[in-house]
Amino acid sequence: MDPQSNTGRSTDVEFEDARSIGDQVQLSAYQRVTIDDVLNPEPAIPNPNSNTSGVNECLNDERLYIPEGESSATPVVGIGFENVGAMVDDCKNFKNRINSYIGEYDADKVINRLTDKKQYLVDFSFEYSVDEEKRLTGLFWADGLCKRNFMEFGDVISFDATFKTKKYKMVFVPFTGIDNHCRNIALGAGLLASESIDSYKWLLNSFVKSFGRQPKVVVTDQEPAMKQAIEDVFTTSRQRLCMWHIMKKVADKAGHELCNNDDFKRKMYDIVWIDSIEPEEFERQWKLVMIEYGLTQNKWIDDMFVMRSMWILAFYRHEPMSGLMRTTSGSESENHFFASVANSQLTLIEYMNHFDGAMDVQRFNHRKNDHISRYTEPDDWTKTTLEKDAPKIYTRSIFFDQQTEIYGTITECLPMDTKIEGPQIRISLKDFKAHRDGLLEVCFKNLENDRWTKDVVPNELNATFDVKVDAKDEQYKEKQRLRYHPTAENIAYVM
């Protein structure tokens, strides 16, 4: 390749769908958008006898235009085969012709497309690397909205190399944070030709170059090369292991029969997924569980215990993790989201189109969540002042968590003691439904910048495209050109 020489929660189900609330009545115009809606839109069927000027007008305006046509042209059951104009095989042949045209220029088209974006989009960054044979070995990109989101939500990030492209044997590495709705938010992405230490170091250095600083905490899987690269590049970051990845392996390492035992699962949950116990208590309970279920000689279990400080909540219970560790389905949600994008047979330029479509979906859903939080009212369970004030401050998903805690405090808990220690308030209480003795201590700390509030990111920032030109028509044309018409000026090929 010879491009220019330059360098928890539920699986993205929106919270208004997860709970029966009155807000849904007010949001009929805000239906859920999926990646398939963007990548595979249902086309309008124009009247072949009508004037197509309306379609052309659509190119100069972002409004949706549907041309008028005869009712006979509207698809209905029993109509749309001799009149369709194209069959499945025709579509497949058309795609094959496109891929044949792309051919060995695939990587070069991507580089040229990203170069155009960097020219026209404010704060857009991308880096790439090639080997001695000028084959693409690494690619990293992030736009201006990714950077603004990193400033607000980038203290704790996760990334892994779960997705691989069979076509070029490259690995897709998304960088993910948690937004103020406690939903996954993409902060950038990379493609690597190998999973070596040097490849990961290049990717992380590109990340720092683009964002200007390191994250405070990085959550990854147990990939050794990735771990070493993080230690070498993210020198000020604390590294944590993804609990979801580890716990997902328990069935294979400890046996599926044991993992179907409800008592075993409950006891593991009580010591792994909660942060209300001290490290010493975790170690004592862990050993008791291992003895009870005959796992004391299991090497993988022993290895996980040795590295307990990197993934067990009890060892960093007071460290803000933004929900990335505590949420069991955070990584599962990320995997589900990007699996819709990461079709292993795609060309690189198709891959980039799918990624952009996924970002459109994610950002639309973020704006929808903002709208719900700002302009709708949730149901009031307890009629208390505390419950009425909470939705004025917090996003709706965070309020739901608060509402559950408020209701539980009133109906299930008995406060026993309160201590004020500087900026912290410690409350001792008894939870009548908790396991064991039910004695808990809750610590409140006044935070100057609370990342869960509704207005942590101004709403207008989520809607900007950041094209440098001012004219509206030029913005739209440039957006369409960058998205659908990548150019190829230099010869390139991919491993």
pLDDT in tens, 462-483: 554 444 444 444 444 544 444 4
Give the range among 66-80, 115-129, 322-336 with minimum mean pLDDT.
322-336
Burial class (CB in 10 A: 0-12, 13-18, 19+), 114: buried
Average pLDDT estimate for 150-167: 81
Q: How far is CA 189 from CA 9, 57, 106, 112, 160, in A?
A: 22, 35, 18, 17, 10
pLDDT category at 28 given cuts 50, 70, 90 is very low
Q: Hey, which of 60-74, 75-89, 445-459 has the most confident mean pLDDT?
A: 445-459
pLDDT band (50, 70, 90) for residue 72: low
pTM of the model: 0.71
Whether 486 shows a pLDDT value over 70: the answer reads no
Out of 12-26, 197-211, 430-444, pick the least confident.
12-26
Q: What is the mean pLDDT of residues 250-263?
A: 89
Q: Determine which of 28-42, 176-190, 380-394 has the lowest per-residue pLDDT on average.
A: 28-42
- Max avg pLDDT among 136-150, 164-178, 342-356, 409-423: 136-150
**Exposed / middle / buried, residue 34 (Cβ in 10 Å: 0-12, 13-18, 19+):** middle
Q: Are 133 and 180 contacting, i.e. CB atoms less than 8 angstroms apart?
A: no
- Name which residue leads in pLDDT, 17 or 315: 315
For 177-197, write each residue's pLDDT tens digit: 999 998 889 999 999 999 999
Q: Would the pLDDT of 88 be above 80?
A: no
| Average pLDDT over every residue of 272-285 | 87
| Residue 488 clears pLDDT 70, i.e. is over it | no
Backbone angles phi, psi at 239, to 5 degrees: -100, 130
Is residue 64 a contact partner of residue 41, using CB atoms and an 8 Å limit?
no
List pLDDT tens digits, range 318-337: 777 665 554 444 555 666 66
CA distances from 447 to 314, 320, 386, 423, 444 (A): 21, 11, 18, 9, 9
Q: What is d(CA 206, CA 224) in angstroms, rounded to the nearest whole number?
A: 20
- pLDDT higher than threshold 90 for residue 490: no
pLDDT band at 168 (very low <50, low <70, confident <90, very high): confident
At 334 the pLDDT is: 65
For residues 71-100, give the mean pLDDT.
68
Are the beta carbons of 211 and 281 closer than 8 angstroms? no
Residue type, 390: A
